[in-house]
Amino acid sequence: MCITGASGVRYGLKILEELSKNNFVYLLISDNGYVVLDREEGISRKDIKNLINENVKLINVKDISSTLASGSRLIETKGVIVAPCSMNTLANIANGVSQNLIHRICDVALKEKVPLYLLIREMPFSLIHIENMKKVALAGAIVSSASPAFYHNPKTVEDMVNFVAGKVLDFFKVKHNLYKRWKENED
């Protein structure tokens, strides 16, 4: 689970919370991800440890020698989620540039065919953004915008965050009760 410097860090936190209930999770936060955590959620770099449980291991994004940088180890995971995924991170992945461990892990995920899910939180998209999304999609990544639905009649921002986080978790077949599914009670 990777959190980068795009707005919408709440999506990443919700996904992390749900994943870590029953799964071991490696957590990587970019330097800009920490800036957004502080600005949007009031969570400082030193306070992040208060949010993680025994199922989460925080990895330094500068530790390029981490075992996660190796394909032989990354294939042991169920996949990689980048939520939110900044346009900078997307560009690095799309162009094979590894400036930190998040970029390297995503590069390795693509080459090893490990599921890679990029939750983009940006609008509008420039042609460069679209071309980079196309590149990573053609390479095997799932690219998704953080677009909540409204058929479940969300009442709060948290309801909308839960929908988006739930859709990411659905891709990895992680059971959750974050949102009401389409026509859930009509069968």
Report if residue 75 sits inside a domain.
Answer: yes
The pLDDT tens digits for 132-155 are 999 999 999 999 999 999 988 999
What radius of gyration, in Å, describes the C-alpha atoms of the chain?
16
Arithmetic mean of pLDDT over the chain: 95
Q: Does residue 140 lie in a domain region?
A: yes
pLDDT of residue 184: 67
pLDDT for 186 beyond 70:
no
Which pLDDT score is estimated for 143? Answer: 98
CATH code at 122?
Answer: 3.40.50.1950
Q: What is the pTM of this model?
A: 0.95
pLDDT digits (tens, 9 = 90+) for 9-59: 999 999 999 999 999 999 999 999 999 999 999 999 999 988 889 999 999
- Structurally, the chain folds into a number of domains equal to 1
Domain for residue 176, yes or no? no
Domain assignment present for residue 73? The answer is: yes
3-state helix/strand/coil string of 106-161: HHHHHHHCCCEEEEECCCCCCHHHHHHHHHHHHCCCEEEECCCCCCCCCCCHHHHH
Does residue 182 carry a pLDDT above 80? no
Domain-embedded: residue 139 = yes
Range of the domain at 40: 2-171
